[in-house]
Amino acid sequence: MTLRVGFIGYGFMGQAHANALARLPMFFPEAPDTDRHVLCGRNEKRVASAAERFGFTHTTDDWETLVDQVDVLYNLGPNDLHAEPTIAALEADVHVLCEKPLAASIGNAERMVAAARESDAVAACAFNYRYVPALRLAKDLVDQGALGEIRHVRGKYLVDWQVDPAHPWVWRNDVERAGYGQVGDVGSHTIDLARWLVGNITRVSGRLETFVDERPAPDGSGKRPVTTDDVYLATASFESGAVGVFEGSSVASGHKATNAIEIIGSEGAIRFDLERLNELEVYDADRRGYERIIITDDDDPYGDRWWPAGHTIGWEHTVVHENYEFLRAIAGEGDDIVSFGEALTVQRIVDAIVRSDDQGRQIAVETDG
């Protein structure tokens, strides 16, 4: 059966997921077939142009119309648009892949989780970095005990796309639409990776800062206030006894996409940075220094699907892998997805970091998603 797919949103993530669906038949031919059926957006001309480029056959400006016409919804719109279309889709047993963070508020995220529990559809949240081959190898090493007792986790996601105060205001600068700033945008990725690799986080403390408090309006009509954070810092306690330090920024000069994580154990350690996506650095306590491993061999995660050893893959391939696992879950052939319950736990940690900054104290995390 061919799954009719609908997208809400046609920006960066719309392009990434459309590319992934186009690549799957060539590299993952056993994945369920998909038809890029309906693309939804508010600007008629832009939606039509994107539909032609992305391979969609229909367009609409009404998400309710979209939900009625598809088997699978990709909710790729701004955070404040995640809840209602997703809940409507799940109530109709339409499968959903929703971008992170799950919603713009904990209340709406909880509603989405409740809808997922009552639905027969598959509901997944799009944390694509779980599908980086090097990080999947890192998880194997942690799970096998190769690092010994995990003691320290360090995660950071630093970018510079808004370092210039003249960079135009976007919806991510509006707390009403985004819900959170960098702590939710990039911090949720770091937190999800840390939880996936090491385990539950029980307590956090946080610090937020907004360095640019207004930006030019995109229509040239003056300036708009920035009501989200530019930078966050956090410390974390893990259920296992490990401790963590996280940071994220959209104003970090010199950092294009420093999405890095380091896990330090009693018998070894690993380091990863997205800017060297095909590499994992591994430290063995019996050696002096780190060994740099290139993750492109046939027996590496997803390595047999792409190019000969040494021929590296790119960021977009993580989204291909994510889509492959999501569609396999729909077909009942796997469950390698990030559930809405897991995504809610990540959002509760994000929310706790925000409250910690506001209250000036450490906050316990509710982990039952």
Residue 111 belongs to a domain: yes
Which pLDDT score is estimated for 223? 96
**Of the candidates 21, 140, 109, 67, which has an alpha carbon nearest to the alpha carbon of residue 339?**
109
Residue 198 belongs to a domain: yes
Which pLDDT score is estimated for 367? 72
Tokens describing residue 171: 């919806």
The 8-class DSSP code of residue 29 comes to: T
Position 34, amino acid: T
Q: Do 163 and 266 share a domain, yes or no? A: yes
Q: Among 129, 161, 181, where does a domain finish?
A: 129
Q: Do 215 and 345 share a domain, yes or no? A: yes
Q: Do 253 and 226 share a domain, yes or no? A: yes
Which pLDDT score is estimated for 368? 63
Which pLDDT score is estimated for 314? 97
What letters, b where the CB count within 10 A reaches 16 and e where it falls short, cover 260-295?
A: bbbbbbeebbbbbbbeebbbbbbbeeeeeeeeebeb
Read off the pTM: 0.96
Q: Among 71, 103, 129, where does a domain finish?
A: 129
Which pLDDT score is estimated for 7? 98
Q: Among 129, 159, 190, where does a domain finish?
A: 129
Which pLDDT score is estimated for 200? 97
Q: Do 50 and 164 share a domain, yes or no? A: no
φ, ψ dihedrals at 89, nearest 5°: -65, -45
Q: Which residues of the chain have pLDDT under 70?
A: 368-369
Q: Do 135 and 13 share a domain, yes or no? A: no
Residue 327 belongs to a domain: no
Q: Do 116 and 217 share a domain, yes or no? A: no
Q: Which domain holds residue 103?
A: 3-129
